[in-house]
Structure 1
Amino acid sequence: MANSKYEYVKTFEQSTSLLPNTYMIVRIDGRGFHKLSAKYKFEKPNDRHALELMNAAATAVMKELPDITCAYGISDDFILDRSSRLFERRESKILTTVVSTFTSYYVHLWSNFFADKPLSPPMPSFDGRVVLYPSSSNLRDYMSWRQVDCHINNLYNTTFWSLVLKGGMDATQAENRLKGTIASEKNEILFSEFKMNYNNEAEIFKKGSIIYRDYDSTSSVLNRKASAPADYSSEKSELSKTQKEKERKRHVKASIAIEHTDIIRDEFWEHRPWLLSTNLDS
């Protein structure tokens, strides 16, 4: 574009670059989803179709953006490897791309899960934020916090809606009944009053969904990360363009797995070392 006297307006633009050598988490939240779930009569306390729609949209985002190593859902958290240079780590580009891509797939895939409930305005929309974590231990603590939160909320909601739908209480009565109760007391209410064993509830409801890029055990990506030197970031910077393109293609070709499992204990991460660049931690 030719220079003009108006070009000075570009100086007002601001671009925030995210700190290098940090894990980037894009956390997405639905806007007004209490109203949306009521409008489309989502099943209480959990609507499996709604959760599977979220997972499908998250999977589509990961296929579009190979830099995302994994995602966790009740709401969705997308984790980008600390070595990622996606959009030169510009916060606005990363955030808007992930949120808009997720939103478009959520709307596009809606009819696959709610064929008898066509969408109408106001349409589903999402906002988001980017949070940075400097070490794999920080990242794991974040993921653990999210899964603990999933369990706490699901136990409360399961008990609350049992009191409402099966126990004949209204919302205020159910809230008052549960006020100040601990987990064991909620479990006792479910078992003694509704013959429900919370442990038998579906794992997708209790643990949420972890969606991750899965490589064959012989994958060079896995082997290279597992045996990488201490300064892994330097190694990546020395990759040739051809090597970088080969690695990008391996990310693209990797299968995407969805599990509803414990991500707090070490086992999940130890069996998938490529998800964390632990060799970068001090």
Structure 2
Amino acid sequence: MAKSRFEYVREFERENHLLPQTYIVVRVDGKGFHRFSQVYEFDKPNDIEAIRVMNDAAQEVCRQIPDVLMAYGQSDEYSFLLRKDCRLYDRREMKLITLFSSLMTSAYTYYWNVAHPNNLITIDKKLVVFDARAVVYPNFTVVQDYFRWRQADCHINNLYNTTFWALVLKGGLSTSEAEQTLSGTLSKDKNEILFSRFGINYNNEPEMFKKGTVIVREVGKSLASDTPVEDLSNRQLQRLDKVMRKAEIKVYHQDIITDEEFWDSRPWLSS
């Protein structure tokens, strides 16, 4: 690249390289998604087609970025776990978050428009936008607790929303009246309202709604290794990349809070 007297402006650029040998989780969130759901007329409390679009978009992110081992999504958010030895963009934070947010935004737009040809995302209505953050975690126990936290949040939010919209759509309450009715209630109270007033057994609600969506790159136990990436030969690195790209990406709606088998059967997530 030719040099010029204007090149000094590069001195103002700053890069934040995320700590090596730590677990990176990138979480993308919808920006102004409540308004987006109103404009595009989502069903309440859960729009299954919108959830499927989120899941399709997240799977596309996993396909495009082989370093993603696992992802978890609920509502308008998705969290992506990168390999501990990930060297994508030299672990530069700004590069990573812009990559994930832009890829999720474009993938969501594409899959939405394929699924909703009569309700396309257009600039004159409202665009879908995702932002992102990257957080590093020191060990895999904390990573597990992070994903457990997100699934617990999914359960809490879905139980509230299911009860709230039952009061509004079936009980005839206004939104403010429904909020007042649920103020200070516990999970058992919401379950009782659903069952006694509307005959809804929350346990029978779809697992996708209650537990969110888990996406796993099922690379197999053979990939697990204690050898750092920097110690691998070029041939081994090429094999690793090939295995990651060809690995099957599977979708689950299951418990990851108490089901230790989910974690124990996938040692490559930690190594």
- TM-score when normalising by structure 2: 0.96
Equivalent residue letter for 1:116: N
Tell whether 2:179 aligns with 1:214.
no
SS of match in other structure, 2:6: helix
Q: Cα deviation per residue 1:160-193 (whole Å; 9 max; x = unaligned)? A: 0000000000000000000000000000000000
Identity of aligned residues (%): 47
Q: Partner residue of 2:90?
A: 88
CA distance in 1, matches of 2:33, 2:232: 44
Q: Which residue of 2 aligns with 1:253?
A: 246
Corresponding residue number in structure 2 for 1:239: 232
Q: Which residue of 1 aligns with 2:269?
A: 275
* Residues 225-265 of structure 1, C-alpha deviations (whole Å, 9 max, x = no match): 1xx34xx42xx211111210111011000010000001112
Correspondent of 2:102 among 100, 103, 117: 100
Match of 1:126 among 106, 109, 130: 130
For 1:7 and 1:263, locate their aligned partners in 2 and report how far apart those are by CA, in whole Å: 51
Residue identity opposite 2:72 in structure 1: Y
Q: Which residue of 2 aligns with 1:166?
A: 170
* Post-superposition CA distance 1:14-47 (Å, at most 9, x none): 1110001111111111011111101111000000
- Residue 280 of structure 1: aligned partner: none
The one-letter amino acid of 1:55's match is: N
Task: Confirm whether residue 59 of structure 1 aligns to residue 59 of structure 2.
Answer: yes
Alignment partners' CA distance in 1, 2:234 and 2:98: 27
8 Å contact from structure 1 (residues 70, 79) kept in 2? yes
Q: Which amino acid aligns with 1:53?
A: V
CA RMSD of aligned residues (A): 1.0
Matches within 5 A, 1:105-116: 105-116=107-118
Structure 2 segments unaligned to the other structure (5+ residues): none
For the residue of structure 2 that corresponds to 1:5, the secondary structure is: coil
Distance in 1, Cα, partners of 2:118 & 2:255: 34
- SS of the residue 2:241 aligns to: helix
TM-score for both structures, normalised by structure 1: 0.92
* C-alpha distance in 2 between matches for 1:112 and 1:118: 8
- CA distance, structure 2, for counterparts of residue 210 and residue 2 of structure 1: 48
Deviations 1:143-166 (CA, angstroms, capped at 9, x unpaired): 010000000000000000000000
1:79 aligns with 2:73: no
Matched position secondary structure for 2:9: helix
User: Are 2:47 and 1:43 equivalent residues in the alignment?
Assistant: no
- Mapping for residues 2-21 of structure 1, pairs under 5 Å: 2-21=2-21
What is the CA distance between 1:224 and its match in structure 2? 4.2
The 3-state SS of whatever aligns with 2:217 is strand
- 4+ runs deviating over 6 angstroms: none
- Look up the equivalent residue of 1:173 and give its one-letter code: E
Contact 1:22 1:82 in 2 (8 A): yes
Aligned pair count reads 266
Paired with 2:7 and 2:223, the residues of 1 have a C-alpha distance of 47
